[in-house]
Amino acid sequence: MFVLFSHPGDFTPVCTTEFVSFAKHYDDFKKLNTELIGLSVDTDISHIEWVQWIEKTLGVKIPFPIIADPLGNVSRALGMLHAESSTNTVRTVFIVDDKATIRTILYYPLELGRNIPEILRIVRSLQLIDKYGVVMPANWPYNEIIGENVLNPPPHHVEEAPKRLQQYKAMPGG
């Protein structure tokens, strides 16, 4: 699995906080066998200088690659360019599984930094869905009704419904 995320520009305040947060959660992504890849329309030189600045100034090493897309070819093809500016990438997140299927797409406005723990939660959820064939409740693993439990998918046929009641444990009151 990998997470491809675009950012509007190197050396900008919100992007810097996001990259530091991704770096600080890098081991969490690695434990989930998930790679991180950044992207913007900035140049290789800009990325290199920015990463060095982050390490020198903030003491955080950026451990994942950043794609330079100065012509915007990749950004344009993936819908990562800002609608009002062909020179800025939006805050896009693509979560791609090991079969090269895009499983999640998130778009954030320029003014709002991403929630990295939420991206980790999505990766964990997708992996559990794939492994066990379950579905995830709202706010998992902190669901207001069933806590950290997961749900069984609904039956696909009428004939399956009675079997599922015998096969799976029901929720209280259900």
Task: Give domain limits for the chain.
Answer: 2-115, 133-174
What's the pLDDT band for 81 if we cut at 50, 70, 90?
confident
Q: What is the pLDDT of residue 63?
A: 98
Which of 116, 105, 91, 108 is CA-nearest to residue 32?
Answer: 116
pLDDT value of residue 129: 95
What torsion, rounded to 10 degrees, do the Cα atoms 135, 137, 143, 145 define? -100
CA angle 25, 46, 36 (to 5 degrees): 25
- For the chain, the average pLDDT equals 91
| Best CATH choice for the domain 2-115 from the list 3.40.50.1820, 3.30.70.380, 3.40.30.10, 3.10.20.30 | 3.40.30.10
What confidence tens digit (pLDDT) does each residue in 135-168 have?
999 999 999 999 999 998 888 888 887 777 677 6
**Which is higher by pLDDT, 83 or 41?**
41
Which of 84, 101, 81 has the alpha carbon at shortest distance from 6?
A: 81
- Specify whether 137 is catalytic: no
Please state, in angstroms and rounded to a whole number, the distance separating the CA atoms of residues 78 and 64.
Answer: 20
From the candidates 4, 15, 51, 68, which is the catalytic residue? 15
In this prediction, residues 119-128 reach a mean pLDDT of 97
